Structure 1
């Protein structure tokens, strides 16, 4: 097994100082797959970017500008609640990673996991 297959690179989005040793201790206690699947993460109330490292990459060249978030979409018409409909709308925000299942289509909202560009301001809400 390649050493880099277990490696993550990260960046803490903050302007404040933080305890790097405490961050390292916290991350060492986590399973890599659970960390990636459970994103976004925060440390000391600041957003923590984590990304899998592939063997041929230089750490300095890895761009950490996108982070997965669960987004809740509300007030779909009854005939527009399919996974495809939700995906089309969510694509306006970013790359759609997952759409939470709603087999009956009766929930008031749908949750979608979207890879958001965090260099852009986040909107609290948007009417479509």
Structure 2
């Protein structure tokens, strides 16, 4: 039912009489742009429903941000994480990847002009575990070789 309504709305077209320019005031736009500049856009990589309230609470606790961060649902599974300081955003960005209920949270920096329809997650770092290696192959060099063979190896920033 909901998808039928959405499809109907997407297929609507304006008549020439209805096609008029709207003026939108930008009085406080600079303030909003500044707010969003300290934001990450995220989506849990799943097609199943998740408990967003629990996910938000867990992320706030893991990131130790409490009410210092706003999490806003903006549609189509997207979340906006608004931080108070650049250092908070950078800490979250640098210390991922993040998961909830074994679901990877894809993140990207907000950019001016982004909309729900334009957000794409083309690359996402994630941790891998390799089990059953011989003891003599359990070292950083072999780990790097395995990582490079899978894709681009991302080194975790030093604290």
Q: TM-score, normalised by structure 1?
A: 0.52
Match of 2:103 in 1: 46
Distance 1:12 1:50 in 2: 9
Q: Answer 1 or 2: which has greater strand percent.
A: 1
Change (3 A) 1:6 1:15: same
Rate the CA distance shift 1:18–1:95 in 2: closer, same or farther, 3 A: same
1:94 aligns with 2:154: no
Mind listing any 5+ residue stretches in structure 2 that lack a counterpart?
Answer: 1-32, 64-87
Match of 1:68 in 2: 125
Which residue of the partner structure matches residue 113 of structure 2? 56
Q: For structure 1, which runs of at least 5 residues remain unmatched after alignment?
A: 76-80, 101-128
Q: Describe the SS at the equivalent of 2:42.
A: strand
CA distance in 1, matches of 2:110, 2:120: 11
**More displaced stretch, 63-72 vs 49-58:** 63-72
Give the TM-score normalised by the residue count of structure 2: 0.44
Match of 2:43 among 3, 7, 11: 11
The equivalences for 1:14-33 within 5 A come to 14-29=46-61, 30=63, 31-33=88-90
Q: Tell me, what secondary structure is at the counterpart of 1:36?
A: helix
Q: How many pairs align?
A: 93
Task: Measure how far apart 1:5 and its partner are.
Answer: 1.9
Displacement of 1:92 in angstroms is 5.4
- Aligned CA-pair RMSD: 3.5
- Structure holding more helix per residue: 2
